[in-house]
Amino acid sequence: MLYRYVGKPMFFRMDPERAHHLVLDGMATVAKVPGSLALLRGMYGVKEEAMLATDLFGLHFHSPIGLAAGLDKNATSVEALSSVGFGFIEVGTVTPVGQSGNEKPRMFRLPEDEALINRMGFNNDGADMLSTRLKRLHNYAVPVFVNIGKNKVTPNEQANEDYLTCIRTLYDVANLFVVNISSPNTPNLRNLQHGDELRSLLEAVVREMDTQNKASGNNKAVLVKIAPDVTDEELAHMTDTIVTSGVNGIIATNTTLSRMGTTHANRLETGGLSGKPLTERSTEVIRQVYRLTEGKLPIIGSGGVFTAKDAYAHICAGASLVEIYTSFIYRGPEITRELAQGIKQLLEQDGYKHISEAVGRDHK
């Protein structure tokens, strides 16, 4: 309640990107104060419930609600964010070399639509800096996913090496990798989702992960994050290539270029849209991917989750875990507990004893 009635009105009077960095910097500072993380856990933490706890990708998730990539690109606030109820945190997108991203302004709110548009362009400090930062962290107990991409100046013909460089640089500090080929804000990046380019990239990524896993004795997973802006035929081909490659799972979906369902004037801004207008489409993509893979490839749902019913729809469509981003901006840290408690209630209403029983229910 504190965020919605005090924090949000103040932040929403600021430029969105300035507010974004102010919050992250504030959380990073708070994490350094003795006792602050325990206080955050007391205020916003989500206690582990046997009904909601999940083991997947060789990792343990005390809650099915995670933070999507894009909020904490440079892992500056992982300790604080891991204390406000998230079951996992996805940092990045990170590229081999740090880059400034696209020109400002590049982030826009659509308050009436409960949506955001961004055209950030993979602004980040680079893989070496992210590695250094994650090695320094100690006070977090949730899995950290690292979302990796290519530098803007790297042509698609050489994109494979950018992804492999990120894996080599960050392997020791990542619990899991996410291959981002679906952001609409890096020129030609989405071309990597299709045909021979996708096959070549994923084969190279899987080979590198196998090499790193064998050398370390670990068994870390790699996922692919896909776009919602594909036809049914394109999605079928893409999913087949992903399954054949040996990748461990899919995140569905990234932001959309569609403006369907939006009314705010900022809908005319270019970039990827996230938030409530994406809810139905992301759920439908999850449903299709689950059907195409016959439920054999784990899915993380991402896109438009604002309520427990939204999250539950993702789960019933086929998602084992769910990510949020825009709703965290609009609703604040209270949302992680609200979603977890709401999902538990919905599971109980439907007679389920564990969340895994509801995964893919729409197909049963």
So what's the pLDDT on residue 1? 64
pLDDT at 182: 76
In tens, the pLDDT along 281-340 reads: 999 999 999 999 999 999 999 999 999 999 999 999 999 999 999 999 999 999 999 999
- The region of weakest confidence among 45-59, 129-143, 160-174, 229-243 is 129-143
Q: To which H or E segment does residue 343 belong?
A: helix 334-349
Bridge partners of 272, per DSSP, are 118
Residue 222 has pLDDT above 90, yes or no: yes
Number of domains in the chain: 1
pLDDT at position 138, please? 67
Q: CA-to-CA distance for 203 and 220, rounded, in angstroms?
A: 16
pLDDT at 239: 95
**What tens digit of pLDDT does each residue of 145-203 get?**
999 999 999 988 899 999 999 999 999 999 999 999 877 777 777 777 777 888 999 99
Domain carrying residue 15: 2-363
Percent of the chain with pLDDT strictly greater than 70:
99
Active site residues: 183
Q: What is the pTM of this model?
A: 0.95
How high does pLDDT run on average in the chain?
Answer: 94
CA distance 303 to 1: 23
DSSP result, 226-272:
E-S---HHHHHHHHHHHHHHT--EEEE---BS--TT--SGGGGS-SE
- Report the alpha-carbon distance of residue 254 to residue 77 in Å, rounded: 22
CATH number at residue 198: 3.20.20.70
CA 258 to chain centre: 19
Q: What is the pLDDT of residue 196?
A: 83
The residue to which tokens 């380019």 are assigned: 197
What CA–CA distance (Å, rounded) separates 131 from 119? Answer: 25
Which three-class secondary structure state does DSSP give residue 284? helix
* Length of the chain counted residue by residue: 364
Amino acid 5: pLDDT? 75
